[in-house]
Every structure is written in C-alpha cells, then in structure tokens.
Amino acid sequence: MSTIGALHATEILDSRGRPTVKVSCTLAGGAHAAVSVPSGASTGRAEARELRDGDPARYGGLGCRKAVANVETTIATALRGRAFAEQPALDRALLELDGTADKSRLGANAMLGVSLAFARAQACERGLPLYRHFADLIGTQPLHLPRLTVNLFSGGKHAGGQVAIQDVLLVPGAATIDDGLAALYAVYQAAAALSAERYHARALTADEGGLAPPFEDAQAMLATAVDAIARAGLRPGVEMSLALDVASSHFYRESRYELDGNALSAGEMIARIEDWVRRFPIVSVEDGLAEDDWEHWPELHGALHGRALTLGDDLLCTNPARIRRAVAENCADALLLKVNQIGTLSEAADAYALARAAGWRVTVSARSGETEDDWLADLAVGWSADQIKVGSITHSERLAKYNRLLEIERETRLPTVAWPSVVT
C-alpha cells in the first residue's frame, strides 16, 4: 500500500517554449518523485484533452495554470491520505474524479502528471529502477532494449509543411544502443552536408530536431536519406534502415490525400506508399492513411504486410476502444504508444496489452513538445517495446531519453530487440 502524502504541480515550459505541467508526489512513507508531461502538435482527434487556460493574453491561451490548480486542489484534496495498493486503483480514482470521457474536466495533462508521479514515487519506495517498476505493472520482466527510430528529415506540422509527410526516420541495425547512436551520428552529419550541397540549406531543424531542407517532394526526402546512409559508409537496409511517419491525417481533405501537388484517392495513396516501400529500405510506416479513413486501412495493411510494419498513431490514439476496432478489422500490426494520448498509465497498459494479445509490435513514442524528463526510456524498456521514437539525436529533451537508454544498457546488459534484424 502506498499512501499519498502530498501532491504539487508547477507550470513549466516544454521544448517549444509552451507551458506544460510538472507534478510531484510524496508518499506518506517519505518517497518523493516528480514527472513532466509532454505535449503534441500533430495530434489525433481522439486524444484525451489537455486542459489549457484559454487566456489569449498569456502564452496565446496555452497556459496550464488551471491544470496545475486542479492537481493542487481537486486532486490533492481527494487523494491525500488515501492508500493505493497499485497503479490501477490510483488511476481509477482519477477517472472517477474527472468523470468525463475525454478527461476535459481535470485535464489529461493534470491526470497523467499525477498518474506518472505516483508510479515514480512507488518505484522509489520499492527501491527499484523505474523500468523494473513499469515492467511489474504489466506483470513482466524487461526482455530487451527497443530499436531506436530517429528523426532524420522532417516536414508536415513539425517543419512548416515544406513537404507534406512528417518524418523520415533512421533505424540502426546495430546490436547495441551505443553502436546505434554512433552510426546515427555519422548519418546525421552526412545528411546535414548533403542538405547544404543540394539545397543550400543551413541545418535548420524541426520541432523534434530533424533536418528540414526544402525538398521538392517526399521521394527526394527518401532518396536523400538513402544517400546519407551510403555517404556515412553504411549499407542501406542492413546497417541502417528507414521508417516513415506519414502523418497523413494532416493532409487529408474531402477524402483526398494532398501530397506533392496531387490530390490522391486512398487507393492511389496506398500505391504510392507501396512504391516507396519497394524502392527504399523502409521497415515501418506510421499513419500511412488518415485517422478517419478506417475503410482503407485493411488494404494498406495488406499491401505492406511482410515488408514493413503498419503502425497506427492518430488512428489509434493509444485508445483501447480504437485498438479493439483496428484489431477486429485488421487495420494494422503495430501500435504507437503515447501515454498522454490516453491520459493515465493504466489505460496505456490496457492499450499495450490489447496490442500484444493481437501479436502486434509496439513503438513507445515521445511527443514533439518534450521536456528534459527521461521516464519514457524506462517505459520503453520496462514494457519491452520494439521501437522507441524520441526525435533526432540533437536537442537535450531528446538526448535525455537516449542518454537514459545508454545508462540502462550499461546497467542491464539487455540485448537490443532483434526486429527488424541485428547486424553484428
């Protein structure tokens, strides 16, 4: 049993300079922990609602003082002195207090802050590293380290829309996180040099640290990524593969995909993605179709099956009900898990369990608005994720997670997951 002693919250700033929430939890036994909550920009419509102040005179309405007040008053008053055996009991209490389907009363930012701070305080009370505590929450042991999936080039909502697709990411085949990061550095440097040569672009970076030269189209983005891998002296598809976050909900209008100057039907969009997967070493495709285009996802999944993962982000929103539907309709074979899309750790664990029961792969993902907190690395290890997607290998809010993975790798000596293949 862990009894809540005190709960406090502060409004802090994320990597875009926008407000977010930091929550600290002290248990009656003295254990104390704090957690910062991330925030997205390329958000799915089915995500739980962050509470923002809406005062245009302060941070353009994005202030989090109301969410902070909810932690310190409503939530703290209701929970102080109460004992919870486990995470689900605490999260159920939060859900009851909120009472809405989308967490709009207390705010998903306030609720997730409390949910995670309690988890970290319990890990501290139990004297366990956070990844072990996260593994215990789902009744497992950490089996392996996740495969890094790292932003190289960005477009879409993270880079001013110079090209519609959101991210081309690198997936190292190295046997360790340590070797993977060294290989990623080499490719990132080669890509920065190629961007300067071909686009006369200084290495401007997008929200998650990806390079953002003015590519003429998605194909140029992919071809330049492969050239950068080769220029770094690595074998494309062996030592370094690619992943895509198409984020196509954000260029889907009136049943058409507005890509590279064309208005594609769903069938044409699927054919385009299939063509990319045939010509480039792509091992995973996220949000290839829009969040509302349920009808065509099974066709996309069929087209990619056996070649690349069909990964759902905006489609699924880490939401158990949406995952159940996607499993039933055979829409995908991998879940992108963002805890703040659903708003409590236990509901994210339910989403995770559903995906695993269906035999799916799982990618644990950061948000484009991040903080220096590193709990995400522990979550990815604790839940034995297949991929971790944090952003580029620049910017400290991203590196906090990679540096934590290095620490966990040294501590545990766990192998990196075999997917998609390991090069030794």
Binding residues (CB under 5 A) for Zn ion: these are 245, 313
Q: How far is the CB of 247 from Zn ion (least distance, A)?
A: 5
User: Contact letters (x/-) for ligand PGA, 162-181, by CB under 6 A?
Assistant: ----x---------------
Q: How far is the CB of 311 from ligand PGA (least distance, A)?
A: 9
Q: Which of these segments, 9-17, 41-49, 226-234, 270-278, binds ligand PGA (CB under 6 A)?
A: 41-49
Q: Per the residue annotation, which of 103, 338, 389, 401 is the catalytic one?
A: 338
Per rule CB under 6 A, count of chain residues that contact ligand PGA: 11
CA 108 to chain centre: 16
Q: How far is the CB of 99 from ligand PGA (least distance, A)?
A: 26
Residue 284 interacting with ligand PGA (CB under 6 A): no
**What sign has the CA pseudo-torsion 241, 245, 251, 257?**
positive
Residue 342 · residue 98 · CB < 8 Å: no
Residue 40 binding result from Zn ion, ligand PGA, none, given CB thresholds of 5 to 8 Å by partner type: ligand PGA
For ligand PGA, give the closer residue by CB, 122 or 341: 341
Among 70, 122, 195, 365, binds ligand PGA (CB under 6 A): 365
Q: Which residue is nearest to Zn ion (CB)?
A: 313
Calpha distance 256→278 (Å, rounded): 23
Calpha distance 317→351 (Å, rounded): 9
Calpha distance 46→117 (Å, rounded): 24
E-only strand ranges, 261-359: 262-264, 282-286, 309-312, 334-337
Q: Element (H or E) spanning 82, and its range? A: none
Residue 43 binding result from ligand PGA, Zn ion, none, given CB thresholds of 5 to 8 Å by partner type: ligand PGA
Tokens 């140029």, residue located: 220
Q: Which of these segments, 38-46, 57-65, 196-204, 261-269, binds ligand PGA (CB under 6 A)?
A: 38-46
Quick one: tokens of 28? 């009656």
Q: Per the residue annotation, which of 47, 208, 291, 397 is the catalytic one?
A: 208
- Please state, in angstroms and as integers, the Cα–Cα distance from residue 225 to each residue in 31, 231, 284, 312, 399, following that order: 46, 10, 15, 23, 21
Among 20, 36, 284, 368, binds ligand PGA (CB under 6 A): 368
For Zn ion, give the closer residue by CB, 98 or 291: 291
For ligand PGA, give the closer residue by CB, 41 or 196: 41
Cis peptide before 320 (omega within 30 of 0): no
Q: Would residue 22 show up in a list of annotated catalytic residues for this protein?
A: no
With a CB cutoff of 8 Å and minimum separation 6, the contacts of 251 are: 156, 164, 257, 258, 259
User: Contact letters (x/-) for ligand PGA, 213-252, by CB under 6 A?
Assistant: --------------------------------x-x-----
Q: How far is the CB of 122 from ligand PGA (least distance, A)?
A: 27
Among 2, 20, 36, 42, binds ligand PGA (CB under 6 A): 42
Quick one: tokens of 387? 């991929």
Residue 299 · residue 288 · CB < 8 Å: no
With a CB cutoff of 8 Å and minimum separation 6, the contacts of 19 are: 11, 12, 13, 59, 62, 63, 64
Residue 24 interacting with ligand PGA (CB under 6 A): no
Q: Would residue 208 show up in a list of annotated catalytic residues for this protein?
A: yes
Calpha distance 16→12 (Å, rounded): 11
Residue 186 binding result from ligand PGA, Zn ion, none, given CB thresholds of 5 to 8 Å by partner type: none
Q: Which residue is nearest to ligand PGA (CB)?
A: 40
Report the interface residues with ligand PGA, using CB under 6 A.
Answer: 40-43, 166, 245, 247, 313, 365, 367-368
Active site residues: 208, 338
